[in-house]
Amino acid sequence: MLTLYYHPLASYCWKPLIALYEAGTAFTPRLVDLAQPDDAALLERLWPMRLFPVLEDGDTVLPESSIIIEYLDLHHPGPHRLIPADPKAALQVRLWDRFFDMHMESPVQEIVRDALRPESRRDRQTVAEQKEKLDRAYIAAERHLAACDNDSWIAGAFSLADCAAMPALFYAGAIHPFYAHPALSEYFTRLTRRPSAGRVIEGARPWFQYFPFRQGIAAQFLA
């Protein structure tokens, strides 16, 4: 039996959760609360970086959300692949996975970390720079999506890249909205209507109260 060590609020944990729900793969969710010493010690034993998610499958222990999804696609595949067999198509999927992690998730995490600091230690310049990065990422994604078919996902069929996009856009939009980008906004709406994404959001809902930008989350996701 697969075990996923995760936290429902953590955006990088949403990626493999979406993949698992897409595939209909049975797994045991193991919530890790780093405020609890035993949980923190458990996660450190599994992965010395003490970061989630971590997947355990018998003797195999894998960290890193993208790697976990690659592993699931190889060893516990669902009805459709999340990384295409065609190498060229797979490159596009991996490109957009990296795009959302590096150019949306990373700025979001910097902004959240700043918000969690005491007021006296907050850095307005860093926050402004991270929002500028988000603006550039929104423009790049908007251009790409505007050139795609209306019902297309970010790299064609639903894939690893879309698993990365949903949490990145969910939290980025709560902090620095992208309403001015219609193709990106429509894509995000379609993502959140995906049943696998809906299950992830539902599981995270009780924890949204701890997100420092909770007021930016759309009311439909809080109800």
Instruction: Look at residue 150 in the predicted model and tell me its pLDDT.
Output: 73
The domains located in the chain, with CATH, are 87-194 (1.20.1050.10)
In a structure prediction context, what are the per-residue pLDDT tens digits for the chain, which is 223 residues long?
899 999 999 999 999 999 999 999 999 999 999 999 999 999 999 999 999 999 999 999 999 999 999 999 999 999 999 999 999 999 999 999 999 999 999 999 999 999 999 999 999 999 999 999 999 999 999 999 999 877 789 999 999 999 999 999 999 999 999 999 999 999 999 999 999 999 999 999 999 999 999 999 999 999 8
DSSP string, 126-150: HHHHHHHHHHHHHHHHHHHHHTS-T
pLDDT digits (tens, 9 = 90+) for 12-42: 999 999 999 999 999 999 999 999 999 999 9
Q: Whole-prediction pTM value?
A: 0.96
